[in-house]
C-alpha cells in the first residue's frame, strides 16, 4: 500500500484499509460482482414495474394531526362533496353570442360522469344554475358537485375536462375549471409534466456535463452503471413493498442522480490522474480509492444524515422521500467501491491527457486565491453579514391558488372566477349543537348567524355558507326568520325543520347538515359552515382559522370546532415542515461536525469546516430574501438536498490539503496542489448538478420553480465558498506551520 496516500487518523486508516481491500476483491471477482449487480438490476426493474402513482393530496398529512382527524370526520359526516367551478368563455374575440347555449350544452354533457353528483345546482343559499357575468369577454359559470377524493377525484376532474372539451368541439368557446378538486388535479398534472419534460432535460444535462468532465465515454458509462443499479435497487425495492409513488417520491431517481454524481466522479478523476502520472491501471485505481475513501464516506454519511432528518418533518411523504434517498445514497456508496472498480478494471485505461491543461488552470486559480487570501477572507465575511440580513427577510409562505403561472388553465380560471365571483379556498367548521337543539333551533341559528357575520368581516373572506342560508331561503318570505336566517320562535323553527326534513335525500342539504341529518334526534350532530377565502396565503389561512376557533369558543364549550379542509391541512403542513427543518438542522450540524472532527483528526478543523458548509445556505437564502422575499415550503427541503454536496466539496478540499501538509508541503504549495488535483472534480460536479437543478427553475409550477432556483443558488454559492473562501480560512488556521513540519491545524 502506498503510504503517501494513507489518511491521518486511526478511523481514517481503518476505513481506507477496508475499502481498498473491498475494491481489490471486487476487481479480482468482477464476474461475480457483475452477476450480482445484474440480478439486482433485473429485480429492481421488475419491482419498478409494480409502482403505481397516488395523486391523493391527503398522503402528505399525518393521520393523527388534529386537522386531518377533523377533516376525516368531516368527510365521514357530510360526505366528500366539493365543487368544481366550470367557466365558459369565448375564444378568438368571438364575443358572448351563444355563451349560455354553450354552457347549457356542457352542463348537459357532464351528467352521468362517475363522481359527479350534481351539475348546475349550488348548496343552500347560493344561486344555482348557470350564471352569466358581463365583461370583456363575458363568461358563464356553474358549479359541478363531485363526491370523490384522491385518485378518483383526479379521474373525475379529468373526465369533466375531456367531456366538456368534446361538447365544445368546433365552437368558439373554451372550458376552464377551478375549485379545490381542479386545483389538486392541476398540481398533479404540473408534477407529471415537469417529471416528463424537465427531469429528462436535467438528466441529459448532468450526463453531458459529466462526459465533458471525465473526458471519456467509457468512464461516463461506468458512472451510469453505478447510478443505474443504485436507483433500480432503491425504486424497485419500494415497488416490491406495494407502495405507491406520489408527487414527492417520484423525484427520488433524479435526486439520486444529482446527489450521487460526486461520489463516483472523484474516484474516476483521481484514477485518470494516476494514469497520467504513469501508474498502471490497478495501481491508479487503488491509489484513487485510498485517497478518496474517507472524504467519500464522510460526504455520503453527512448527506444521509441530512435526508434522515426529513423524518422529523410533519409529512409522511417527506419521511418516505428522505428514507428512499438515504437508502439510495448508501447503495451508491457501496457500489462505488465494488461495481465501479470492477467496471474500471475492464474499460480502456484512458488517462485523458487533455485534463492536464485544466489542472494547470485550477493551479493558477489556487495561486490567485493564495496571493489574495486576505481580501477574499474579508470579502467572505462581508458577504456573510449581508447574507445574514437577507436571510432574515425570507418569509416561508404559500398561496396555494398561485402555485401556477398563467400557462396553466387552472390559474386563468381562478383569476376569472375571483374577478367575477370570489375565492375558491374553503375553510370548514363542523359546529355542534347543544342538548335539546336542532339545526333550526333559534339559539343555535343565532350563534351560527353571528359567527357567519363575524367571518364575513374578516380579511380575505369572500363569502360564508351556513345553515342559516338554508333557513332564510325557506322562511324569510313567510316571516318565519329574520334577515339573517334566524327563526322567529320555536314554532317557526319546528315548522322549518319539518319542511326541510322532508328533503332528506337532497345532496345540497347533506352538504350542510350531514348525510344522516334526517335521523338525528335533538342534541345530536352538528352543521357545517364553509368560509371561502380569496387569494389567502398559508399564514393568513392559519391566522383566520385560529381566530375563528377562538371566536366560536366565545359562544360556549358546546360550540367549539376545529378548522379543517385541504387548505388548512396544507397550511399547517407548510408551517410545521419549516419548523421541523429548523429544529432538525442543528441536530444534523452537530452530527456532521462530530464526523468531521473524527475524519480530520482535529477539533479545530472539524468545527472550522462548519463555516464553509453553512456559508452556501446563508448566501442562497440571503440572496433570495434580498430579491424575492417569499419562499414556498419546497425551500425547506433545500437544506437536506444540498448539504451533502456542500460537505462533499469541503471535505475533499480539506482532506487533500491536510494530507499534503502532513506530507511536508508548505501551505501555499499544498493549497495550489489541492486546487490542481481536487479542484476539477469539485468544479465539474457542482456545475453539473447546479445546471441540472436550474432546469427546474423554468417550471411554471411555483413549488418546482422555487426548489430548482434556491437549489441552484445554493450550489453556485457552495462552489464560490469552497474555492474562494475555504482556502483563505485554511491558510489562516495554518499560518504558523513550517514546511516539512506538522501543520498548526493539527494541534
What CATH code is carried by the domain that includes residue 91? 3.30.70.1320
Give 477's pLDDT tier (boundaries 50, 70, 90).
low
CB 142, CB 86: distance < 8 Å: yes
Give the DSSP H/E element, type plus range, for residue 429: strand 425-432
Q: How far apart are CA 523 and CA 437, in angstroms?
A: 5
Provide the pLDDT for residue 744.
38
558/576 same-domain check:
no
> 484 or 581: whose pLDDT is higher?
484
| Alpha carbon of residue 676 to chain centroid | 37
300/210 same-domain check:
yes
> CA quadruple 661, 667, 672, 678: dihedral positive or negative?
positive
The reply to whether omega before 137 is within 30° of 0 (cis) is: yes
In this predicted structure, the answer to whether residue 584 has a pLDDT above a threshold of 80 is no
In this predicted structure, the answer to whether residue 4 has a pLDDT above a threshold of 50 is no
Classify residue 68: in a domain, yes or no: no
Helix/strand/coil for 535: coil
579/550 same-domain check:
no
**How would you write 669-724 as a 3-class SS string?**
HHHHHHHHHHHHHHHHHHHHHHHHHHHHHHCCEHHHHHHHHHHHHHHHHHHHHHHH
Length of the chain: 747
Q: How far apart are CA 338 and CA 518, in angstroms?
A: 69
> 246 or 354: whose pLDDT is higher?
246
pLDDT tens-digit map of 90-110? 987 666 788 888 889 998 899
In this predicted structure, the answer to whether residue 745 has a pLDDT above a threshold of 50 is no
CATH number at residue 221: 1.20.1640.10
698/721 same-domain check:
yes
Out of 286-290, 469-473, 489-493, 738-742, least confident range: 738-742
Q: How far apart are CA 690 and CA 683, in angstroms?
A: 11
Residue showing cell 438542522: 585
Classify residue 740: in a domain, yes or no: yes
504/417 same-domain check:
yes
Q: How far apart are CA 706 and CA 735, in angstroms?
A: 41
Provide the pLDDT for residue 198.
83
220/363 same-domain check:
yes
Cα three-residue angle 631-254-677, rounded to 5 degrees: 95
- Percent of the chain beyond pLDDT 70? 92
Provide the pLDDT for residue 411.
92
Classify residue 593: in a domain, yes or no: yes
639/598 same-domain check:
yes
- Residues 406-414 have a mean pLDDT of 90
Pairing mode of beta strands 244-245, 52-53:
parallel
Classify residue 398: in a domain, yes or no: no
In this predicted structure, the answer to whether residue 590 has a pLDDT above a threshold of 80 is no
CB 233, CB 40: distance < 8 Å: yes
The cell for 680 is 476539477
The DSSP symbol for 245 reads E
> 517 or 615: whose pLDDT is higher?
615
Classify residue 64: in a domain, yes or no: no
705/588 same-domain check:
yes
Residue 23's nearest CA partner among 270, 255, 228 is: 270
Provide the pLDDT for residue 524.
54
pLDDT tens-digit map of 646-687? 787 888 888 888 888 888 888 899 999 999 888 888 888 888
Residue 733: Cβ within 10 Å count: 18
Provide the pLDDT for residue 12.
52
Provide the pLDDT for residue 295.
84
In this predicted structure, the answer to whether residue 518 has a pLDDT above a threshold of 70 is no
In this predicted structure, the answer to whether residue 343 has a pLDDT above a threshold of 50 is yes
Per-state percent for the chain, helix, strand, coil, to nearest 5 = 70, 10, 25
Give the DSSP H/E element, type plus range, for residue 146: strand 139-146
Provide the pLDDT for residue 522.
39
Pairing mode of beta strands 461-465, 526-533:
antiparallel
The most confident of the ranges 3-12, 173-182, 264-273 is: 173-182
Burial profile 612-640: b = 16 or more Cβ within 10 angstroms, e = fewer = bbbbbbbbbbbbbbeeeebbbbbbbbbbb
Q: How far apart are CA 235 and CA 221, in angstroms?
A: 20
CB 462, CB 534: distance < 8 Å: yes
352/440 same-domain check:
no
In this predicted structure, the answer to whether residue 543 has a pLDDT above a threshold of 50 is yes
> 344 or 605: whose pLDDT is higher?
344
Classify residue 114: in a domain, yes or no: yes
Residue 86's nearest CA partner among 145, 147, 149, 138 is: 145
Give 47's pLDDT tier (boundaries 50, 70, 90).
very high
CB 284, CB 274: distance < 8 Å: yes
- CA distances to 59, 68, 321, 482, 573 from 315, in Å: 8, 11, 10, 46, 7
Final residue of a domain: which of 178, 210, 234?
178
Residue 7: Cβ within 10 Å count: 24
Classify residue 69: in a domain, yes or no: no
Final residue of a domain: which of 525, 545, 564?
564
Residue showing cell 380579511: 459
Provide the pLDDT for residue 126.
52
Final residue of a domain: which of 516, 539, 564?
564
Provide the pLDDT for residue 34.
95
Rg (Cα) of the chain, in Å, rounded?
31
The long-range contacts involving 414-419, CB below 8 angstroms and separated by at least 24 positions, are: 414/178, 414/183, 416/87, 416/89, 416/139, 416/176, 416/178, 417/85, 417/87, 417/141, 417/178, 418/534, 418/535, 419/135
Out of 64-68, 282-286, 429-433, 616-620, least confident range: 64-68
> 577 or 163: whose pLDDT is higher?
163
Q: How far apart are CA 549 and CA 560, in angstroms?
A: 7
- Please state the domain count of the chain: 3
pLDDT tens-digit map of 694-742? 888 888 888 888 888 888 899 899 899 999 999 998 888 877 444 334 4
99/194 same-domain check:
no
207/343 same-domain check:
yes
Residue-averaged pLDDT of the chain? 84
CB 184, CB 59: distance < 8 Å: no
Tell me the angle at which helices 566-600 and 66-78 cross, rounded to the nearest 10 degrees: 150
Residue 705's nearest CA partner among 404, 415, 339 is: 404
Cα three-residue angle 370-372-376, rounded to 5 degrees: 105
The cell for 313 is 418533518
Give the DSSP H/E element, type plus range, for residue 74: helix 66-78
Residue 724's nearest CA partner among 360, 372, 361 is: 372
Provide the pLDDT for residue 742.
41
CB 642, CB 617: distance < 8 Å: yes
Tell me the angle at which helices 667-694 and 726-733 cross, rounded to the nearest 10 degrees: 150
- What is the span of the domain harbouring residue 174? 81-178
165/294 same-domain check:
no
Provide the pLDDT for residue 214.
80
Classify residue 235: in a domain, yes or no: yes
Provide the pLDDT for residue 353.
67
Cα three-residue angle 496-499-505, rounded to 5 degrees: 125
In this predicted structure, the answer to whether residue 184 has a pLDDT above a threshold of 60 is yes
Amino acid at each position: 500500500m502506498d503510504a503517501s496516500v494513507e489518511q491521518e487518523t486511526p478511523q481514517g486508516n481503518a476505513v481506507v484499509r477496508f475499502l481498498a481491500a473491498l475494491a481489490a476483491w471486487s476487481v479480482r471477482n468482477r464476474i461475480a460482482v457483475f452477476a450480482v449487480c445484474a440480478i439486482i438490476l433485473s429485480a429492481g426493474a421488475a419491482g419498478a414495474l409494480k409502482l403505481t402513482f397516488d395523486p391523493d393530496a391527503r398522503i402528505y398529512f399525518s393521520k393523527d394531526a388534529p386537522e386531518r382527524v377533523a377533516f376525516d370526520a368531516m368527510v365521514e359526516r357530510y360526505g366528500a362533496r366539493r365543487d368544481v367551478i366550470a367557466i365558459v368563455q369565448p375564444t378568438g374575440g368571438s364575443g358572448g353570442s351563444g355563451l349560455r347555449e354553450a354552457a347549457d350544452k356542457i352542463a348537459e354533457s357532464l351528467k352521468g360522469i362517475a363522481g359527479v353528483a350534481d351539475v348546475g345546482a349550488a348548496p343552500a343559499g347560493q344561486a344555482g344554475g348557470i350564471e352569466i357575468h358581463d365583461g370583456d369577454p363575458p363568461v358563464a359559470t356553474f358549479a359541478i358537485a363531485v363526491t370523490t377524493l384522491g385518485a378518483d377525484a383526479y379521474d373525475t376532474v379529468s373526465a369533466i375536462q375531456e367531456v366538456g372539451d368534446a361538447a365544445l368541439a368546433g365552437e368558439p368557446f373554451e372550458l376552464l375549471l377551478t375549485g379545490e378538486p381542479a386545483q389538486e388535479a392541476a398540481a398533479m398534472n404540473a408534477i407529471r409534466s415537469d417529471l416528463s419534460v424537465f427531469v429528462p432535460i436535467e438528466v441529459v444535462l448532468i450526463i453531458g456535463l459529466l462526459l465533458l468532465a471525465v473526458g471519456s465515454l467509457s468512464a461516463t458509462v461506468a458512472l451510469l452503471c453505478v447510478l443505474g443499479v443504485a436507483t433500480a435497487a432503491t425504486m424497485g425495492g419500494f415497488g416490491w413493498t406495494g407502495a405507491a409513488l406520489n408527487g414527492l417520491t417520484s423525484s427520488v431517481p433524479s435526486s439520486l442522480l444529482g446527489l450521487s454524481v460526486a461520489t463516483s466522479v472523484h474516484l474516476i478523476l483521481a484514477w485518470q490522474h494516476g494514469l497520467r502520472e504513469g501508474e498502471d491501471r490497478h495501481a491508479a485505481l487503488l491509489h484513487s480509492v485510498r485517497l478518496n475513501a474517507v472524504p467519500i464516506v464522510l460526504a455520503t454519511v453527512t448527506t444521509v444524515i441530512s435526508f434522515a432528518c426529513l423524518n422529523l418533518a410533519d409529512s409522511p411523504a417527506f419521511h418516505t422521500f428522505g428514507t428512499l434517498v438515504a437508502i439510495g445514497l448508501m447503495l451508491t456508496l457501496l457500489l462505488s467501491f465494488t461495481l465501479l472498480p470492477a467496471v474500471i478494471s475492464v474499460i480502456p485505461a484512458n488517462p485523458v491527457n487533455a485534463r492536464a491543461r485544466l489542472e494547470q488552470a485550477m493551479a493558477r486559480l489556487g495561486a490567485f486565491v493564495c496571493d489574495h487570501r486576505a481580501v477574499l477572507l474579508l470579502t467572505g465575511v462581508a458577504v456573510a453579514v449581508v447574507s445574514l440580513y437577507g436571510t432574515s427577510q425570507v418569509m416561508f409562505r404559500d398561496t396555494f391558488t398561485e402555485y401556477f403561472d398563467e400557462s396553466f388553465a387552472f390559474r386563468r380560471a381562478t383569476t376569472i372566477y375571483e374577478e367575477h365571483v370570489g375565492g375558491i379556498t374553503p375553510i370548514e367548521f363542523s359546529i355542534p349543537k347543544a342538548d335539546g337543539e336542532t339545526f333550526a333551533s333559534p339559539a343555535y341559528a343565532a350563534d351560527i348567524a353571528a359567527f357567519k357575520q363575524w367571518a364575513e368581516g374578516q380579511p380575505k373572506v369572500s363569502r360564508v355558507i351556513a345553515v342559516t342560508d338554508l333557513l332564510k331561503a325557506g322562511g324569510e318570505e313567510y316571516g318565519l326568520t329574520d334577515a339573517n336566517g334566524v327563526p322567529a320562535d320555536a314554532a317557526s323553527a319546528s315548522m322549518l325543520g319539518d319542511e326541510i326534513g322532508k328533503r332528506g335525500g337532497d345532496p345540497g342539504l347533506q352538504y350542510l347538515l350531514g348525510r344522516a341529518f334526517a335521523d338525528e334526534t335533538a342534541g345530536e350532530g352538528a352543521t357545517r359552515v364553509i368560509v371561502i377565502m380569496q387569494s389567502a396565503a398559508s399564514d393568513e389561512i392559519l391566522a383566520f382559522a385560529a381566530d375563528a376557533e377562538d371566536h366560536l369558543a366565545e359562544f360556549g364549550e358546546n360550540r367549539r370546532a376545529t378548522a379543517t379542509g385541504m387548505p388548512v391541512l396544507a397550511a399547517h403542513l407548510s408551517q410545521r415542515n419549516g419548523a421541523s427543518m429548523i429544529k432538525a438542522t442543528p441536530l444534523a450540524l452537530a452530527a456532521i461536525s462530530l464526523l468531521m472532527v473524527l475524519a480530520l483528526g482535529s477539533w479545530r478543523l472539524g468545527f472550522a469546516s462548519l463555516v464553509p458548509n453553512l456559508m452556501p445556505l446563508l448566501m442562497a437564502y440571503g440572496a433570495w430574501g434580498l430579491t424575492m422575499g417569499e419562499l414556498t415550503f419546497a425551500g425547506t427541503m433545500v437544506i437536506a438536498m444540498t448539504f451533502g454536496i456542500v460537505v462533499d466539496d469541503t471535505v475533499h478540499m480539506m482532506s487533500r490539503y491536510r494530507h499534503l501538509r502532513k506530507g511536508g508541503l508548505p501551505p501555499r504549495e499544498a493549497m495550489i496542489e489541492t486546487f490542481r488535483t481536487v479542484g476539477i472534480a469539485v468544479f465539474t460536479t457542482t456545475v453539473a448538478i447546479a445546471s441540472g437543478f436550474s432546469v427546474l427553475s423554468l417550471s411554471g409550477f411555483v413549488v418546482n420553480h422555487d426548489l430548482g432556483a434556491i437549489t441552484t443558488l445554493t450550489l453556485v454559492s457552495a462552489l464560490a465558498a469552497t474555492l474562494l473562501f475555504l482556502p483563505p480560512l485554511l491558510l489562516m488556521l495554518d499560518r504558523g506551520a513550517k514546511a516539512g513540519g506538522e501543520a498548526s491545524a493539527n494541534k
